[in-house]
């Protein structure tokens, strides 16, 4: 008589496969959950979309993978806990495996929910050099992952070294959108938006092309990288 490993039996009892992938009668639960949370970018690298998209036949395809922050092979009892499931891109999930990433997506402090502690720090001399030469390959930065393992295990700094052209665009924006130009633009926006005008947050988001609040970085890829350089340059408050 052959026994199913306890771990597999536990996952079967918890209906893990059905919750994750659904079937013809029951749609998968997790894609709807992350959609409600507003998470659309990999919570580790913030460089890839993690969304659910409707296909031509109206079925829904989840374009992300679920990482078990506490790995499910060792702790199958946490396999279906929402607080243990992180929507991530395939690259991060494959690279992570059973390695431990200390970043915590969820928090019992509502003010800290989904905020990021890690930070991109741009080298001021290299920004000055770029302003002179317009050669964006000269832009230098470091990614301080606060010891979470994002650099060591997921090569996050390496991912963003391919995105120096995006950093260059923000540097140019910071030059163009000086205070007087911003004030003039905001007045012209008021004409479009009526007597209430446009809020400072919406206006700055328009300029940045991404979300401003550190708690919103999971709503759009590249938000953290974009916010950090824009804030360092004074483009956004």
Please report whether residue 89 would count as binding Zn ion according to CB under 5 A: yes
174 touching Zn ion, by CB under 5 A: no
Phi and psi at 70, nearest 5°, equal -100, 115
The number of angstroms, rounded, from the C-alpha of 74 to the middle of its chain's C-alpha atoms is 27
Q: Does 44 bind Zn ion (CB under 5 A)?
A: yes
Binding of Zn ion at residue 167 (CB under 5 A)? no
Binding segment for Zn ion (CB under 5 A), chosen from 68-76, 77-85, 92-100, 199-207, is: 92-100
Q: Which stretch binds Zn ion (CB under 5 A): 11-19, 54-62, 81-89, 103-111?
A: 81-89
| CB nearer to Zn ion: pick between 86 and 211 | 86
Query: Is 217 among the residues that bind Zn ion (CB under 5 A)?
Result: no
Q: Does 105 bind Zn ion (CB under 5 A)?
A: no
Q: Which two tokens stand for residue 40?
A: 């659309």
Residue 8 phi/psi, 5-degree rounding, is -65, -40
Least distance to Zn ion, CB of residue 230, Å? 22
Q: Strand ranges (DSSP E) for the chain?
A: 51-54, 60-63, 65-68, 85-88, 119-122, 141-144
Q: What are phi and psi of 198, to 5 degrees?
A: -125, 140
- Kindly state whether residue 101 participates in binding Zn ion, applying the rule CB under 5 A: no
Q: How far is the CB of 142 from Zn ion (least distance, A)?
A: 19
Quick one: the chain helix, strand, coil %, rounded to 5?
50, 10, 40
According to DSSP, residue 41 is labeled B
Q: Stretches 90-98, 162-170, 192-200, 205-213: which one binds Zn ion (CB under 5 A)? A: 90-98
- Please report how the helices 223-233 and 164-176 are oriented relative to each other, as an axis angle in degrees rounded to 10: 40
Q: What is the C-alpha to C-alpha distance for residues 119 and 224, in angstroms, rounded to an integer?
A: 8
235 binds Zn ion (CB under 5 A): no
Among 19, 28, 41, 45, binds Zn ion (CB under 5 A): 45
Does 92 bind Zn ion (CB under 5 A)? Our answer is yes
List of residues contacting Zn ion (CB under 5 A): 42, 44-45, 89, 92
């Amino acid at each position: 008589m052959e026994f199913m490993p306890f771990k597999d039996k536990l996952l079967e009892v918890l209906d893990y496969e059905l919750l994750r992938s659904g079937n013809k009668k029951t749609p998968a639960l997790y894609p709807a959950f992350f959609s409600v949370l507003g998470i659309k970018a990999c919570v580790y690298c913030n460089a890839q979309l993690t969304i659910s998209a409707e296909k031509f036949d109206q079925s829904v395809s989840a374009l992300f993978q679920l990482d078990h922050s506490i790995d499910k092979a060792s702790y199958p009892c946490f396999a279906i806990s929402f607080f243990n499931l992180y929507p991530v891109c395939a690259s991060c999930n494959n690279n992570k495996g059973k390695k431990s990433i200390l970043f915590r997506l969820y928090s019992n402090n509502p003010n800290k929910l989904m905020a990021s502690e890690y930070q991109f720090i741009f080298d001021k001399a290299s920004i000055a050099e770029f302003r002179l030469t317009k050669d964006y390959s000269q832009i230098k930065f470091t990614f301080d992952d606060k010891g979470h393992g994002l650099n060591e295990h997921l090569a996050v700094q390496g991912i963003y070294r391919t995105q120096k052209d995006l950093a260059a665009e923000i540097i140019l924006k910071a030059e163009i959108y000086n205070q007087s130009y911003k004030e003039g633009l905001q007045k012209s926006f008021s004409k479009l938006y009526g007597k209430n005008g446009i809020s400072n947050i919406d206006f700055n988001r328009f300029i940045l092309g991404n979300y401003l609040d550190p708690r919103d970085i999971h709503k759009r890829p590249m938000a953290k990288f974009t916010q950090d350089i824009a804030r360092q340059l004074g483009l956004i408050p």
